[in-house]
Structure 1
Amino acid sequence: MTDSTDQIQLAIFDWAGTTIDFGSCAPAAAFRKVFAAHGVEASDHAARAPMGLNKREHLVRMLQTETIAQQWLAANGKAWTEDDVSRLYEEFIPYQLQAIEESSKLVPGLNEVVQHLRQHNIRIGGTTGYFKAAAEATAAAAREQGFVPDANICADDVPEGRPAPWMIYEVMKQLTIYPARCVVKIGDTVADIEAGHNAGCWTVGVCDSSSSTGLSYEDFQQQTAAEQQERIASTMRVFKDVGSHFTIGSLEELPVVIQKINQRMAQGERP
C-alpha cells in the first residue's frame, strides 16, 4: 500500500514499556537477576539506562559502566570479556522469558488507540529489542488480549537493532508503505527515538509507561498526581533532549498527535 498524500499511513510501536508491560519491568528485572547470579548488584537505573537496545548490546553497556565493571572485577577476580558477555546472554534468556510471563498486561488504552488508528486506515507495526523467543512470547501474550500488529519485527530479524533503522524499514517493506515521512515511530526509550530519526520518520515518546519513568502500572497509580506529573515531566525532558518530535503523557494522546502531524505535513513540514 502506498499513498502520495502526506498522511500518516503506518504507526510502528515498541513493545515492552509502550504497548505491553507498563514500566518495562520484565527486562529490567531479568537484567538485575542475571548480574546478581554473578555477584554484581545492578541498580534499577543501571538496568534501565540502555533500554531499547538489543539485549546483548544492553549487557555490554551495563558492563561498561564503572560501578558494574568494578563489582564484576571484585566478584570474579578479572575484568569482563566477550566470553563473559556470551555466557551472560545465554543465562539471561530464561530470566527474560520468565519475566515476560509475569509482566505481560497490555498498557491501558492500547486497544482503543489501535482501533481508532485502523478506522483511519493506519496500519500497525511492532518492533522490539527482544530476541526471537522473547518477542514471540510477548506477541502471544498480546494476542490473547486482542492486540495483533500487521507486521512484527525483533532485533534478531535484522542486521543490527536500535538505534539503527532496520527494524522500521523491515516493517515498511513488509507492509509496502513508503516514504518514511508517512510513518510514525512510537516508543518509550531513547533508542526508539533515535531509530525513528535514523529512519527519517516522525517520532513520539510515551512517558507514563516508559522505562525511564520506571514504575509498574500499580506503582504508578499509587503515586500522587503531583508525583506522577513530576516523573512524566522528567521523562519528557529525556525525549526532548534527543529530539523527539512529540512527547505524550500516555498512549491515549496518540490520535491527537497524529492529527497534528497530518496538519503539519499538509503545510509542507517534514520530519
Structure 2
Amino acid sequence: MTSPPRTVNAAASTSSTPASTVDARLQAVIFDWAGTLVDHGSLAPTQIFVDAFATFGIDLALEDARGPMGLSKRDHIRTLLVEAHVQAQWRARFGRSSSEADIDAIYERFMPMQIEHVGRYSRPIPGAVETLAALRRAGLKIGSCSGYPRQVMAVLLPQAMADGIHVDHVVAGDDLAAGGRPGPFMALANVLALGIGDVRTCVKVDDTTPGIEEGRNAGMWTVGVSLSGNETGLTLAQLQALPQPELAARRAAASQRLLAAGAHLVVDSVADLPAALADIEARRAGGERP
C-alpha cells in the first residue's frame, strides 16, 4: 500500500512537458539488498554491528546499530563511534578517544563475522522473486547496490540467486573510489553498466534514508520500503504478530522518515512495487520529473 505521493524538489518535479511528447516508460529499477530484496527486517548487518562492538567491550543497542544503516560498513562504524554515548564508553574502556586505526580494527573484526552469518539472512522478502519477474516481463533492466562490501556480496549473491533473486548488475559498498551513500555514485554506476540514457527513467528502491538520498542525488525517482526493512526492523513473523493499530503506527513512522529523506512514494514491501511504478509512469506521462 502506497503513501500519498510527495515531491521534495518542487521546482524540478513540477516542471511540465506536454504529455504527447513524453515517453512515460521507465527503463530501469535499482534495488538495495538487505531489507529490500532479502533479509526481512535488515537483521544481518545490524546484529553483527552489535556483536562486533561487543568484542571491544562496547555495549551497542540494536537501535543504535540501525541509525546509520545504508552507509558503507566502514562509514557505518565511523558514524557509530562518534555517537556521544558510544565514544564515552570507548574512552572509559581504553582511556582515549577512538582513532582511524580503531575504525580499521572494528571493521576487521566485523568482516569475518558478517561473512559467516550473512547467509542466515539471505532469504528473499515475500514477493521479491515475483516482482523481479514482472519487471523483466515489462522490459525493465534491474540494477542493485548495497552497503555490503564485495566480500560479503560474494557470499550473499549465490544464495539469493538460488532462491530466485536475479539482477542484471551489482555494485558493492567498497567497489567505487568515489564512495557510497548518500552520494549518487553506486546508483550512477548501475546507470552506466545498464546502458541507461536518462537517469529520470530510473527508480531507486531502498529501505534506508541514505539509500533514498542516493537516488535523489542521482536524479532518479525513489521508492521507500517501510515495513520489510531497516525503518521497522522486524522479522516477517514479528511483523505479522503486531496488532493492527501498532502496525499502522509503525508504517506511518517509517513512511514519514523515508518521505522526509526524499522518497517520491513509499510502499510496505517490494511486493507492492508494481503499483508504485505504474503511479510513477502516470506522473511521467503528465510531464512530471523527479
Q: Which amino acid aligns with 1:102?
A: R
Q: Deviations over 1:147-202 (max 9, x none)?
A: 11011111222121111111111111111012011000000000111000110000
Match of 1:247 in 2: 266
User: 2:27 corresponds to which residue?
Assistant: 9
- Give 1:227 deviation, angstroms: 1.9
The correspondence for 2:128, drawn from 96, 110, 117, is 110
- Map of 2:211 onto structure 1: 192
Q: How does 1:78-89 map to 2 (within 5 A)?
A: 78-89=96-107
2:192 corresponds, among 173, 178, 186, to 173
How far the C-alpha of 1:225 sits from its partner, in A, is 2.3
Pairing partner for 2:163 from 133, 136, 145: 145
CA distance in 2, matches of 1:118, 1:227: 35
Cα deviation for residue 101 of structure 1 reads 2.0
Secondary structure of 2:170's partner? strand
Deviates more, 1:17-26 or 1:133-142: 133-142
| Matched residue, 2:117 | 99
Q: Which moved more, 1:177-186 or 1:69-78?
A: 69-78
Question: Which segment drifts farther, 135-144 or 79-88?
Answer: 135-144
Figure out how many residues of one structure are paired with residues of the other and give that number.
268
Please give the TM-score of this superposition, normalised by the length of structure 2.
Answer: 0.90
- Distance, in Å, in 2 between the alignment partners of 1:70 and 1:211 is 26
Specify which of 207, 212, 220 is matched with residue 231 of structure 2. 212
Cα deviation, residue 97, structure 1: 1.3
Unaligned runs of 5+ in 2: 1-21
Q: Partner residue of 1:268?
A: 287
Q: Residue deviations 1:192-227, cap 9 Å, x none?
A: 110001100000000111211011222212222222
Distance 1:56 1:172 in 2: 25
- Structure 1 segments (4+ residues) deviating >4 Å: none
Residue 74 of structure 1, CA deviation: 1.0
**What amino acid is aligned across from residue 83 of structure 1 in structure 2?**
A
Pick the aligned partner of 1:259 from 259, 264, 278. 278
Which ranges of structure 1 fall in alignment gaps of 5 or more residues? none
Output the CA distance in 1 between the equivalents of 2:140 and 2:244.
33
- What amino acid does structure 2 have at the position aligned with 1:248? V
Deviation at 1:137, TM superposition (A): 1.4
AA at the equivalent of 1:254: L
Quote the sequence identity (%): 36
Paired residues of 1:69 and 1:79 also in contact (CA < 8 A): yes
Quote the residue 1:135 is aligned against. Answer: 153
Distance between the aligned counterparts of 2:88 and 2:218, measured in 1? 37
Cα RMSD, aligned residues only: 1.1
Contact 1:54 1:131 in 2 (8 A): yes
